[in-house]
A and B are shown apart, each in its own frame.
Chain A
Amino acid sequence: GEDVEQSLFLSVREGDSSVINCTYTDSSSTYLYWYKQEPGAGLQLLTYIFSNMDMKQDQRLTVLLNKKDKHLSLRIADTQTGDSAIYFCAEKTGFQKLVFGTGTRLLVSP
Chain B
Amino acid sequence: DTEVTQTPKHLVMGMTNKKSLKCEQHMGHRAMYWYKQKAKKPPELMFVYSYEKLSINESVPSRFSPECPNSSLLNLHLHALQPEDSALYLCASSHPGLAGKSSYNEQFFGPGTRLTVL
Q: Which A residues lie at the B interface, using CB under 8 A?
A: 4, 30-31, 40-45, 48, 50, 88, 92, 94-103
Q: What interface size band does chain B fall in?
A: 20 to 34
| Docked-complex contact A31 and B102, CB < 8 angstroms | yes
Across chains A and B, which 8 residue pairs bring their CB atoms closest together, nearest first? A100-B42, A42-B109, A30-B102, A43-B109, A42-B111, A96-B48, A95-B97, A42-B110
A43, A45, A48 — most chain B CB neighbours (10 Å): A43
Interface residues of B (CB under 8 A from A): 4, 31, 33, 40-45, 48, 50, 55-56, 90, 92, 94, 96-112, 114
Residue of A nearest to B49 (CB): A96
Residue of A4, A44, A101 touching B109 (CB-CB under 8 A): A44
Task: Give chain A residues whose Cβ lies under 8 Å from the Cβ of B56.
Answer: 94, 96-97
The main secondary structure of chain B at its interface with chain A is: loop
Instruction: Report Cα–Cα, A75/B101, bound state, in Å.
Output: 29
Task: Kindly state the separation between the CA atoms of A53 and B43 in the bound complex, as whole angstroms.
Answer: 26
A41 & B111 in contact (Cβ 8 Å cutoff): yes
30 CB < 8 A contacts A-B:
A31-B102, A31-B104, A40-B111, A40-B112, A40-B114, A41-B112, A42-B110, A42-B111, A42-B112, A43-B90, A43-B92, A43-B109, A45-B107, A45-B108, A48-B104, A48-B106, A50-B104, A95-B99, A95-B100, A95-B102, A96-B33, A96-B56, A96-B96, A97-B48, A98-B107, A99-B45, A100-B42, A102-B41, A102-B42, A103-B40
Cβ of A91 to closest chain B Cβ, rounded Å: 11
Do residues A101 and B42 form an inter-chain contact, with CB atoms below 8 A?
A: yes
